[in-house]
Structure 1
Amino acid sequence: MSADLTHVDTWLFDLDNTLYPVESGFMKQAEARMTQFVAKTTGLPMDEAYELQKTYFRDYGLTLHGLMEHHGVDPDEYHAIFHDISLDALAHDTDLLAALQRLPGRRLIFTNADDRHAERVLERLGLSALFDDVFHIGSFGFLPKPDPAAFDRMVEAHGMAPAATAFFEDSERNLEPAAGLGMTTVLVGAHAQDSHASFVHHRTDKLAPFLATARLKEAA
C-alpha cells in the first residue's frame, strides 16, 4: 500500500546512498580514500587504519569526528580528499526526478558530508534545482548525525515543524533521533526491509517508487 504522507510539508533527505543506490559503488571510492587518509595521519598500516576508521564511525557517527577529537585533523583538509572523486558511477534517475518534483513544500538535504561534496553529487544527479538548502556537516559545527544536537540545530536553522517533516535515510541509527523529535522516518536501501526498529515508520528498497506512489497533501 502507498504511504500516507498527507501531513508532510517538509521533505528531508540524506544524500549519499539515499538519493542514489548504494549499488552504484560510489561510496566505496570515498571509503578507500578515508582509509588512506587515516593511515597517513596515524602512521598505521592500511588494515589497522581501516579498523580505526570503522571504530571512529561506530563511536562518533563519522570518521572525521574521531580524527578531529583524537588527532587534531583539520576538517577542510579531510574533506578535500573527496573533491576530485570520479562521479562516473552516478547517473540521472528520471523516475526519481519526477517523484521529487511532485512533493509539496520544502525539500532539504541533511548530510554528514561537506558543502562541496554535496554540490558535486547533486549536480551530477541533476537534482540541484529541486532542493531549497543543504544542511551539511559544517552547518552544524561538525557534530554528525546521529548526534541529537545536530538535529536540534537543523530544526532551529530552518524553523521546521518535526511533526510535518519526513526524513529519508539509508542508515537506521540516523533515524532514531528524528523519530524522537516527531518526524516521520523512512529507511531506504536494499536492506531496509530487514529493519524491525520501532522508530522506522516506513521502509523501501527504492526511493523513487516510494515517493511516486505516496499519498500527499496536495499536488506540487
Structure 2
Amino acid sequence: MLDALRHIDTWIFDLDNTLYPASSDLFGLIDQRMTDYVARLKGVDAVAARAIQKALFHEHGTTLSGLMRTHAIDPHEFLGFVHDIEMDVLAEDRRLLAALARLPGRKLIFTNGDEPYARKVLARLGLSESFEAIHDIHACAYQPKPNPAAYAAMCAALRVEPTTALFVEDMARNLVPAKALGMTTVWVNNGSDQATAERHADSIDYETDDVGAWLDEIAGDPE
C-alpha cells in the first residue's frame, strides 16, 4: 500500500465508466433510452428529444432530476425504462476483482443510478460480493452528484468519515464536493469527462486510465 494512502479505511467508487471502461459504451445504450423516453413524454422526434434531454442534463445535473422538476415524472418508472438494456458489452476484470479483495477496509458504491441497475452491472463484472453497500439516487433523495447534499447524505447513511475515505470517479466535476469534505480523490481519465478535468485539477489527487491497474499497484502483492 502506498504510504500516502495508509490512512484510508473506506474506498468509495462510482459505477458507470469507472468500474468498467468507458470504451464499452454501456452508457450509450442508456443515453439512447433516455432520448426515447423524452421523445415519448414530449411527443417529439428523436432530434428534438435529444436536445431537450441534454439541456435537462446540463441544467439539473441529470436528465432524471430535470424531468422530475419540470414534468413531475415517477423516478422508478423512468429508471426502470432507461436501464432496461443488455449488459453484453461488459466483461469481468479479474485483476480488479483481486485488487478490491486486497484493499483494507470498507468498499462502497456511490452512483447516480439506482441500486437494481447497479447490482446488474456488478453481477456482470463479477463484483457482486465486492462491495458492502450501494448508495444510489433514491438514497440521495434525487439530488445527484455533484450536489454537495448527495455526498452529505451518503456519508451520513453509510457512516463514512471523509478524511479517511477515498473516492474514485470518472467525472472530474463530481470529485469537487468529495475533495471539499476532505476525501482523497482519484479521477479515472478514460475519455468520458476530458472537458472539465483541467477546471477541477485542484480536486484531483490521483489520476488513472485503468482502475484495475491502479488498485493492483497500490493494494500490494497478494499474500
Q: Quick check: TM above 0.5?
A: yes
Counterpart residue number, 2:86 = 86
Gaps of 5+ in 2: none
Deviations 1:103-136 (A, max 9, x none): 1100000001011101111111110101000001
Counterpart residue number, 2:43 = 43
CA distance in 2 between counterparts of 1:185 and 1:45 reads: 40
Q: Aligned residue pairs: how many? A: 218
| Paired AA for residue 208 in structure 1 | G
Contact 2:170–2:190, Cα closer than 8 Å, also in 1:
no
Gaps of 5+ in 1: none
CA distance in 2 between counterparts of 1:215 and 1:97 reads: 12
Contact 1:18–1:189, Cα closer than 8 Å, also in 2:
no
CA distance in 1 between counterparts of 2:131 and 2:82 reads: 22
Residue 44 of structure 1 aligns to a residue whose secondary structure is: coil
Aligned: 1:171 with 2:165: no
CA distance in 1 between counterparts of 2:94 and 2:33 reads: 30
| Paired AA for residue 157 in structure 2 | A
Aligned: 1:210 with 2:214: yes
Residue 166 of structure 2 aligns to a residue whose secondary structure is: strand
Deviations 1:1-47 (A, max 9, x none): x6831121100000011000010121111100000001111122211
CA distance in 2 between counterparts of 1:127 and 1:82 reads: 22
CA distance in 1 between counterparts of 2:80 and 2:44 reads: 21
CA distance in 2 between counterparts of 1:114 and 1:22 reads: 19
Deviation larger for 4-13 or 63-72 = 4-13
Residue 138 of structure 1 aligns to a residue whose secondary structure is: coil
- State the Cα distance separating 1:162 from its structure 2 match: 0.4
CA distance in 2 between counterparts of 1:215 and 1:106 reads: 14
| Paired AA for residue 169 in structure 1 | E
Runs of 4 or more, structure 1, over 2 Å off, are 189-196
Q: Could you say what the CA RMSD is over the residues aligned between the two structures, in angstroms?
A: 2.0
Residue 32 of structure 2 aligns to a residue whose secondary structure is: helix
CA distance in 2 between counterparts of 1:83 and 1:193 reads: 25
- State the Cα distance separating 1:73 from its structure 2 match: 0.8
Counterpart residue number, 2:74 = 74
CA distance in 2 between counterparts of 1:92 and 1:18 reads: 13
Contact 1:83–1:116, Cα closer than 8 Å, also in 2:
no
TM-score, normalising length: structure 1: 0.93
CA distance in 1 between counterparts of 2:114 and 2:194 reads: 29
- State the Cα distance separating 1:190 from its structure 2 match: 2.2
TM-score, normalising length: structure 2: 0.92
